[in-house]
Chains A and B, each alone.
Chain A
Amino acid sequence: MPADGFVHHACLYGTDAEFLATAVPFVRDGLAAGEPVLAATTPANLDLLRRALGERAHALDTAETAYFGRRPVERVSAFLRYHDRRARPGRRTRMLAEPVWCGRSARQVAEWKRMESGLNVLLAGLPVWMICPYDTRTVPADVARAACATHPARMDGRRLIPCAGCAEPAAYAAGVAPPRAPAPAGASRAGPTTAASAVRLFARERAVAAGLDGERLGLAVLAVCEAAAYLLAPAGTRLAVRAWEEPGQLVYELLCTGPATVPVFAGFRPPGDRPEPEDGLWLARSLADSLDIRAQGALTRLTLRVTGPRTFD
């Protein structure tokens, strides 16, 4: 394996033994080389792995995968945070990162597939070797197929098998659209405008009308405003906003035509020491239940969903 640059492999396993056949040498070799090694997988797999590693398991960093980034934007932040904290100069970092697929909505599955592909862009350049296990006993068939499109190769034990169908991330993401929910005829509308203040007032008015208050109201308005400010940043951009309620969610749709196109994976990296143009979009992604950006010719459509008042944490 190359020592620098991001290496991203899938591992399709159908038994505990197959999981261990890939995971154990990956972890053991990393620890033996003095590399930081993280296993973010299910509690059952963590248990298997620890028993197989014996004493060496003491040196393994672990995370229960369901809590290691609940949503894609948090997952990317979790990976970067782990790397920031544990990386050692001149050494590669290894991560065994098994996403949770079961029980997810069609929208969430699409978002996680896109993120798996996006990691090839977002983590490119980092000295990280990541293996993403997929349990074929439980993941839907389309998810297992997607693994071969979102990883350049897969590991089977110590054997590396190239994924011939691996897709270029931006093209892949464009092809995996979340379920489309067009704005209903009765949706509230504002704009087109170049004024961030008009968007802020509209966002607040609709959130209040939907029954949001207190912190949730503040966070919803902030999410919409940060997304709008990101889109409005290039001079000459005009923004139209629509909002409507769905059960459990308040939906904002920001439509803009402007000189700039939005990179597909913009806003997945958390703010660092220096300000970056995508910081606000990261915040919007982090505060929203989901945020999707699609280009349709000269039109950019950003759809942002926030939790409704009847959802309890």
Chain B
Amino acid sequence: MVHAHGVRRRVHVGDLRPGDHACLLFASDEERASVLRDFVLGGLDADDKILCLTGDPAPSLPPVPPGRLEVVALAQFLTADGRFDAAALLARLRTAAARSRAEGCRALRVAGDPGAGGMPDLPRLLEYEALLDGEFGSGRALAVCQYDLRRCGPGTPDALESAHAGSVEADPLVRTADLVVVRTYRPQGLRIEGVVDAGAHRCLRDALRSVAAVREDVRLEMSRVEFLDLAGLRLLMTFARARAARHCTVELTGLLPHLRQVITMIGWDRTPGLRLGAAHAC
């Protein structure tokens, strides 16, 4: 999860492997539910045992077959003065990991919710994260720690992120050899990467449909688009018109300058609902 130069990176939840310890900084319940769902279902596919260390209220989870999921309230590891009882937590994690191996599972998959209501302040959270980080380096477990950005004070997200090897985001809506489309939540929209040609129109159309119901302005982040053909551009224009019908807009950011030129040449820059945001930094 850490690049050669130690730069933290963003990773799709489906790409997490045993030994990974990542954070999910979310700003909407929808974003959190989406990632958590992928995390749990990915665990079922990989034959992992799933352990949810929940706060209050506990997040909603997808249905899981009996015996594959254990839910534990984090509050039981708090001491009377609000500290984590590190020894108790470690013992619980090790027991769970050992049991998962004994049951023939690949690894223990931990979904932690340390930032939920009633949980400790930042220094103690970092202490908790350091504990998990040390424990998971062994490769017998993997964890995603969820933090609600709406509850974080200034500077807290950076500190929390630096306590993890990377931050996690939803699995791509589209992942082919040439095209990746990821749902984004801050702001709401999609990040499109790669090549959109005749073979990718259907995928792009489906991905756009997935954000059609969003009741606010949507942003399509396109700075990693290598190629986008005319029919692909038309899909974006059709999407913009549908946005306008909902009294919302779609903003295209990072658009390659030559594509902006093509849009203007055809007159599509006047499409209702379309905003051409910052250009590609090339």
Contacts and interface: CB of A to CB of B under 8 A. Distances in A.
- Categorize the interface residue count of chain A: 20 to 34
Given A196-B199, A275-B234, A279-B231, A222 B265 contact: no
B258 A222 contact: yes
Interface in B195-252: 195, 197-199, 227, 229-231, 234
Nearest to B197: A196
Interface stretch (A27-35, A46-54, A183-191, A212-220): A212-220
Contacts, number: 56
Interface string B96-132: 0000000000000000000000000000000000000
A-B pairs, top 6 by smallest CB distance, nearest first, are A218-B258, A215-B258, A219-B258, A283-B230, A215-B257, A280-B230
Given A197-B178, A197-B195, A229-B229, A271 B257 contact: no
B156 interface: no
Nearest to B198: A229
Interface in A255-288: 270-271, 275, 279-280, 283, 286-287
* Most A Cβ at <10 Å: residue of B198, B199, B230: B230
A222 B234 contact: no
Contacts of A200: 195, 197, 227
Contacts of A222: 227, 229-230, 258, 262
Interface of B: 178, 195, 197-199, 227, 229-231, 234, 256-259, 261-262, 265-266, 282
A232 B262 CA distance: 22
A283 B262 CA distance: 8
Nearest to B259: A218
A119 interface: no
A170 B227 CA distance: 34
A219 B178 CA distance: 20
Contacts of B195: 197, 200
Interface of A: 196-197, 200, 214-219, 221-222, 225-226, 229, 232-233, 270-271, 275, 279-280, 283, 286-287
B256 A218 contact: yes
Contact of A226 (B230, B234, B259): B230
Contact of A225 (B178, B227, B257): B227
A48 B195 CA distance: 54
Nearest to A216: B258
A233 to B, nearest CB: 8
Nearest to A200: B227
25 contacts: A200-B227, A214-B258, A215-B258, A216-B258, A217-B258, A218-B257, A218-B258, A218-B259, A219-B258, A222-B227, A222-B229, A225-B227, A225-B229, A226-B229, A229-B198, A229-B229, A233-B198, A271-B230, A271-B234, A271-B266, A275-B234, A279-B234, A283-B230, A283-B262, A286-B265
A221 B257 contact: no
Given A215-B257, A219-B261, 15 more contacts: A196-B199, A200-B197, A215-B261, A216-B258, A217-B258, A221-B227, A222-B227, A225-B227, A229-B229, A270-B266, A271-B234, A275-B231, A280-B230, A280-B231, A286-B265
